[in-house]
């Protein structure tokens, strides 16, 4: 992979961007003084990126992860024995709508070409109510990072105790490596729904502002800082905006997105635009790779790790 990406440097258009991104990312990871922030949008876990991310965390290449409740939900499902499946692309004589209506009747949820039986959400709810929420209830109101840490602990312990075939996953790796996970829009997920439901009959609650101080402190204390932004949305902005209240800014930045910048939306905004806000240093090394993160993330990670290891 490293040789392929190196040869991309002799090509143009998107290939040249991939080469530059791998070069910047490798320099970021090789900088012992660099605090690395990673944002992970959407539902990258059920689409197969789970072990790519957990390995990065376990091997010391992530200092803080900002992600979605969806990723944490699907990560926990796999940790405790649930499974995602490849879905059929051939609907026979059915239209796509008719196919999805059939899936609804069969209690199977679809994420493009990834299928998840709804019974696994029942498994997830049971996991939260027996292994995660009770320990947090004793503390009353906790931060979202505390919830993520407790989820990681529970995922790790149940995965080991039950001898689950799949890896314990992202949250477990973060718990074991003492890497904080921030999930600023946790309400927008099944994890958030379950947390809200549990809070209705207990003293458990989440403080949405509690994570701001430790995340900002991490950025403030960084000698140099770098960010790998996988997709856009809330994780991307939450990662970048941290630098608005610190004296410095990111020294390295790599983002993978499929969104165009011409819409004016945050998800497609270039990192050069972020520089105008003071989120990146004027002399920061940065680039944007336009493409599907399920293709680009493993490529960049493998190439960068080959180079520095």
SS3 content of the chain, % helix, strand, coil (to 5): 50, 20, 30
Per the annotation, the verdict on 279 as an active-site residue is yes
Give the residue from 21, 119, 124, 149 showing the smallest Cα distance to 74.
Answer: 124
DSSP letter assigned to residue 30: H
Q: How far apart are CA 242 and CA 147, in angstroms?
A: 21
User: Residue 218 is encoded by which pair of tokens?
Assistant: 């991490």
141 contact partners, CB below 8 Å, separation of at least 6: 204, 205, 206, 207
- How many Å apart are CA 106 and CA 62, to the nearest integer? 39
* Helices and strands, counts by H and E, the chain: 14, 11
Q: Which residues contact 44 (CB under 8 A, 6 or more apart)?
A: 50, 53, 71, 230, 231, 293, 294, 297
Three-state DSSP at 116 gives strand
What residues form DSSP beta bridges with 288?
A: 255
User: Residue 153 burial (CB < 10 Å; 0-12/13-18/19+)?
Assistant: middle
Q: Which of 275, 276, 292, 307 is nearest to 24 (CA)?
A: 307
Residue 255 forms beta bridges with which residues?
Answer: 229, 288
Catalytic residue, candidates 51, 94, 236, 279:
279
**What size, in residues, is the chain?**
309
Active-site residue set: 279
């Amino acid at each position: 992979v490293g040789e392929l990406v190196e040869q991309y440097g002799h090509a143009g258009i998107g290939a040249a961007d991939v080469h530059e991104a791998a070069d910047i990312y490798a320099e970021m990871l090789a900088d012992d003084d660099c605090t690395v922030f990673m944002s992970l949008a959407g539902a990258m876990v059920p689409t197969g990126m789970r072990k790519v991310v957990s390995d990065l965390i376990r091997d010391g290449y992530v200092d803080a992860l900002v992600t979605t409740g969806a990723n944490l939900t699907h990560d926990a499902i796999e940790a405790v024995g649930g499974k995602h499946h490849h879905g059929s692309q051939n609907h026979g004589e059915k239209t796509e709508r008719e196919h999805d209506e059939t899936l609804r009747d069969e209690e199977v949820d679809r994420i493009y070409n990834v299928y998840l039986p709804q019974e696994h959400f029942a498994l997830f709810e049971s996991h939260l109510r027996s292994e995660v929420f009770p320990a947090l209830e004793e503390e009353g109101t906790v931060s979202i990072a505390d919830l993520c840490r407790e989820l990681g602990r529970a995922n790790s312990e149940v995965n080991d105790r039950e001898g689950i075939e799949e890896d314990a996953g992202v949250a477990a790796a973060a718990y074991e490596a003492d890497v904080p996970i921030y999930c600023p829009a946790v309400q927008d997920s099944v994890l958030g729904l379950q947390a809200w439901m549990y809070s209705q009959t207990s003293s458990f609650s989440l403080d949405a502002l509690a994570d701001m101080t430790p995340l900002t402190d991490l950025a403030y204390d960084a000698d140099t800082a770098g960010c790998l932004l996988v997709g856009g949305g809330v994780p991307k902005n939450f990662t970048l905006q941290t630098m608005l209240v610190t004296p410095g800014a990111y020294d390295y930045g790599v983002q993978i997105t499929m969104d165009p910048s011409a819409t004016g939306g945050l998800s497609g905004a270039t990192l050069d635009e972020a520089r105008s806000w003071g989120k990146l240093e004027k002399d920061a090394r940065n680039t944007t790779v336009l493409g599907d993160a399920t293709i680009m993330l493993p490529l960049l990670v493998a190439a960068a790790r080959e180079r520095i290891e």
